[in-house]
Amino acid sequence: MPAPKNTIKTKLLSGDLQIGAFLDLASTTVAEIAGRAGYDWCLVDGEHGPSDTAQIRDQLMALASVGCPALVRVPCGEDWVLKRALDIGAQTLLVPMVDTAAQAEAVARAVRYAPEGTRGLAAGVVRASGYGAEPDYMHTANDQICLMVQAESRAAVENVDAIAATPGVDCVFVGPSDLAADMGHLGNPGAPEVVEAITHIMARTRAAGKAVGMFCLDPGQLARYRDMGATFIAVASDVVSMTSVLRSRAAEAREQLG
C-alpha cells in the first residue's frame, strides 16, 4: 500500500481555502474535541506547546480517530527533529524561523527520502508506515509530504522571493507576532510597517506560485487576509479559546449573582 493521501497538500495545491486551529495544550482530549469542531485541519504545536514526541504522536492519533487532517509545527528545522515528526505520522510540517533560501532548501531535503532528500530510512518500524504494514510507503512518501516554512523576521521578508521559489516548499506561513517583534513593534502586528511586510510576503509568495498561510485570531481581519491571497488560515487556538470562555463565564456569573 502507498503512503496515505495528504488531503491538506491536495487542497493547498488546488487553492482551496482551509481554516484550522492551533493546539498547544498537549492534550489528546482537547485534540479530539477540536478535531470534531468543524475545522479543515488542526495543528499540534511542538514549538510553543509542551508536547514531546510521544505526546505529539498521541494527538495525531486522536485527530486521526475523528477524521481531522493534522499537521505538526516542529520546534526547529534540525534534521533529527523533522525525521521524528515524520516517523510518528505527520505528513505536513510547519517549520518556524526560516530566514533564507539555504535554510528552506535544507529542510526540504530533510523531509524527503533519497534521491530527492536525506531523510533517514526506518520505514519498517515507524508509525508513518503502519509499522511496516504499508510496504510501498518509502517509495510513495515523498509525494505526500507537505512543507510549510514560517516567515517571521526581517531577513525572511528580504529573502522571501528565494524562499518561496525553493523546490519542495509548498507554503510560506506568516508569523505576525514574531515578525512584529523582530521589526521593533513587540505586541503590535498591526503596525503599518509590519502590515506592509506581511503584504509583501503574501504578494511575493503568490507570485512564486506557492500557497500563503496566516495566523489570525481576529475575525475582522480574516476576509482581508483571504483577499490578499491567504488560503491556509489559523483562526483558533485551544489556549485562547479556553481562557476566553472560562474568563467570560466567571465574569458573567459574578455579574448575575451580584
What tens digit of pLDDT does each residue of 46-101 get?
999 999 999 999 999 999 999 999 999 999 999 999 999 999 999 999 999 999 99
Cell numbers 470534531 label which residue? Answer: 36
**Segment (H or E) for 213:** strand 211-215
- Predicted TM-score (pTM) of the model is 0.96
Count of Cβ atoms closer than 10 Å to residue 83 Cβ: 18
The structural domain count of the chain equals 1
% of residues, the chain, pLDDT over 90: 98
What is the Cα–Cα distance from 124 to 189, expressed in whole angstroms?
A: 45
Instruction: Tell me, yes or no, whether 164 lies in a domain.
Output: yes
AA letter at 208? A
Instruction: Tell me, yes or no, whether 42 lies in a domain.
Output: yes
Maximum separation of any 2 CA atoms in the chain, in Å: 69
The secondary structure of 31-76 as a DSSP string is HHHHHTTT-SEEEEESSSS---HHHHHHHHHHHHHTT--EEEE-SS
Please give the average per-residue pLDDT across 25-33, as a whole number.
98
Average pLDDT, the chain: 97
AA letter at 142? N
Instruction: Tell me, yes or no, whether 1 lies in a domain.
Output: no
Q: Cell numbers of 120, please?
A: 533517514
Query: Could you tell me the CATH number of the domain that includes residue 248?
Result: 3.20.20.60
User: Does pLDDT of 169 surpass 90?
Assistant: yes
Cβ neighbours of residue 223 closer than 8 Å, sequence gap 6 or more: none
Q: Which of 241, 240, 236, 234 is nearest to 8 (CA)?
A: 234
Instruction: Tell me, yes or no, whether 108 lies in a domain.
Output: yes
**pLDDT band at residue 2 under the 50/70/90 scheme:** confident
Q: Cell numbers of 25, please?
A: 495544550
CB 92 within 8 A of CB 74: no
Q: Which of 56, 3, 14, 21 is nearest to 233 (CA)?
A: 21
Three-state SS for 96?
A: coil
Domain that holds residue 191: 7-257
200 is catalytic: no
**pLDDT band at residue 104 under the 50/70/90 scheme:** very high
* pLDDT score, position 96: 98
* pLDDT score, position 258: 87
CA atoms within 13 A on the CB side of 249: 6
